[in-house]
Amino acid sequence: MTGHGPERSLAELIEGNARFAEGKSLHPRQDARRRAEVLEKGQYPFAAIVACSDSRVSPEIVFDQGLGDLFVVRTAGNLVDDLGIASLEYAAAHLGVPLIVVMGHSRCGAVTSAVEGGEAPGSLSAIHAALAPSVEKAKHRPGDVVDAAARENVKSLVAALGRREGVLKGLVDRGALSVVGAFYDIERGSVEFIG
């Protein structure tokens, strides 16, 4: 197990992001020694991150962490289906991860596409459909509708994961797992944790 509780895990993410945003990343635990360690002893990540597939949003870099530190699930729009949820359940139940962070970001292409609407080719329509409730809420909020929709999507996913019956809810109810939201500003490099 990680030896971390949710609060310590969150503090490590905040500290790592501060280093990254200030251009002072340490790039910890990214050497041959660490590769050998996680191979021999296994992985014990201290947080799971649900993030967008956007190439500008890499949780290991954004939070200045190393090999074996984060368990990451990435899809366009940081959406999770049953397989994504199963991955999070594995992280929490089998790897002992005490914290799940759902992280949206500014200028999200998937959210932009859903806001613009229109016909989405192929399976992209599934992304639009999943984001539609958040886009609708965002239309009634002040400011940039894309960023507002991305934030709404994070809040919706945090709530859904925290109340989903089964593994995650059981761990949340026992206090062994926390699920929080975050919003990454790709221009500033900073992550804001949101409720």
Considering the domain boundaries, does residue 1 fall inside one?
Answer: no
Considering the domain boundaries, does residue 50 fall inside one?
Answer: yes
What was the pLDDT predicted at 163?
Answer: 85
Q: Is the pLDDT of residue 67 over 90?
A: yes
Considering the domain boundaries, does residue 39 fall inside one?
Answer: yes
Task: Count CB-CB contacts under 10 A for residue 125.
Answer: 11
Residue-wise pLDDT for 118-159, tens only, equals 888 888 999 999 999 999 999 988 889 999 999 999 999 999
Domain count, the chain: 1
What was the pLDDT predicted at 2?
Answer: 55
pTM comes to 0.94
What is the domain range of residue 178?
A: 6-194
Eight-class DSSP state of 77: G
What was the pLDDT predicted at 24?
Answer: 97
Residue-wise pLDDT for 3-62, tens only, equals 789 999 999 999 999 999 999 999 999 999 999 999 999 999 999 999 999 999 999 999
Considering the domain boundaries, does residue 34 fall inside one?
Answer: yes
Considering the domain boundaries, does residue 169 fall inside one?
Answer: yes
Spatial distance between the Cα atoms of 67 and 71, rounded to a whole number of angstroms = 10
Place of tokens 């991305």: 150
Residue 69 identity (one-letter amino acid): D
CATH (domain of 80): 3.40.1050.10
Considering the domain boundaries, does residue 48 fall inside one?
Answer: yes
**Count of helix runs (H) and strand runs (E) in the chain:** 8, 5
